[in-house]
Amino acid sequence: MAPRKARGATVRGATVRGLSHIDTRGRAKMVDVGDKPVTDREAVARGDITMSPAALKLIQSGGIVKGDPLQAARLAGIMAAKQTSNLIPLCHPLPLTHVSVELAPIKRGYRIEARVRTSARTGVEMEALSAVSVAALTVYDMVKAVDKEMVIGNICLVEKRGGRSGDYRRSERSERSVRSNRS
């Protein structure tokens, strides 16, 4: 089957090309992936949560009353990846074959990275981004009694593999931009 040309949709008087979730009348639609082949796909997303030194010290010493926020966040991130199609409109439910969520200490908090894999007709970028987001929100929820000024940010797709659009890796320039925003 020949690849389909991107059709332009008119949204508020402007023509938008390449938006697969918008029909020709500007209405939201779920993309039909039925003609796409099943391929191995993987996505990695990353984000940060920053906090006060007092909050960070409590986490590191095991002093958070609700329990270990890092373990809870890891589990919440895995669960979020599995539920992405229930959280994000127009996402396809996918048979995930692997989800990992890691939290690594950084100067003022934690870097969260999620890796998600599947063999399916569409990618797992949204699942990886959901995992990072919900893991960060879980840390916030468990530590907010100590620090309500925590900041969740820099959530981005780092890389993806597989599918018709091919592989993607975040550019060094983009990484430098994110790092400068952390300062």
Residues assigned a catalytic role = 141
State the chain's maximal CA–CA distance in angstroms. 59
The answer to whether 94 and 85 have CB atoms below 8 angstroms apart is: yes
As a whole number of angstroms, the distance between CA 97 and CA 116 comes to 8
Strand ranges of the sheet holding 39-50, from the earlier edge strand across to the other edge? 96-106, 109-120, 39-50, 151-161, 168-169
As a whole number of angstroms, the distance between CA 81 and CA 56 comes to 26
